[in-house]
Chain A
Amino acid sequence: NAGVTQTPKFQVLKTGQSMTLQCAQDMNHNSMYWYRQDPGMGLRLIYYSASEGTTDKGEVPNGYNVSRLNKREFSLRLESAAPSQTSVYFCASSGGNQPQHFGDGTRLSIL
């Protein structure tokens, strides 16, 4: 049982490049989330999806887009990467009122 799987684990981009972070869960959870974590800080919500076909903005959505492709997959896209988006990105999922389970994270550096 893999839980929440994120790809890639590491990525270096140049300013202005685009990329998509992938997330998949195999726990049949309805809700999925994208967070970013900057050094010395807690996790900040970027976007979340309460169910297949729905997405909502979180605390820091600017510069990002998301797609809930199906119940398993929730992707995060950076259309034009900026150095301020250098961070560690975590995907999480949850079912009902149960606690969220996190993936291993994607470490993204933007030069």
Chain B
Amino acid sequence: QKEVEQNSGPLSVPEGAIASLNCTYSDRGSQSFFWYRQYSGKSPELIMFIYSNGDKEDGRFTAQLNKASQYVSLLIRDSQPSDSATYLCAVTAGRRALTFGSGTRLQVQP
């Protein structure tokens, strides 16, 4: 079983819709959870991070964490074609290095 699992996609949504990206993790000791956006040929760019159960909102982005279910998600409201990218979920316990999922490719259709 992979430590961090994501659906590879592509997830296709129309412009203006809500995109929902999901991630599950296996290590119950995980404490910190991150979403990175990666455009083709570019480096990962931090979008959101969340440490506590519940929701965290930043502009059009909302991260949701449920530690009991070992589940973290990213919602993108009012999706734009510029949001089309691969979204990487990453988790870590304490000061250890990040463990990444393989990413979900999002396509926002104009």
Residues of chain A whose beta carbon lies under 8 Å from any beta carbon of chain B? 31, 33, 35, 40-45, 48, 50, 58, 90, 97, 99-105
Contacts and interface: CB of A to CB of B under 8 A. Distances in A.
Contact of B98 (A40, A45, A103, A105): A45
Interface string B25-53: 00000001010000000111110010000
B100 A97 contact: no
Nearest to B103: A42
24 contacts: A33-B97, A35-B100, A41-B102, A41-B103, A42-B88, A42-B102, A43-B88, A43-B90, A43-B100, A44-B100, A45-B97, A45-B98, A58-B97, A90-B44, A97-B94, A97-B95, A99-B34, A99-B46, A100-B98, A102-B45, A103-B43, A104-B43, A105-B42, A105-B43
B8 interface: yes
Interface residues of B, number: 21
B101 A31 contact: no
A48 B92 CA distance: 14
A42 B101 contact: yes
Contacts of B90: 43
A100 B8 CA distance: 23
- Residue in B94, B97, B99 with the greatest tally of chain A CB atoms within 10 Å: B97
Contacts of A104: 42-43
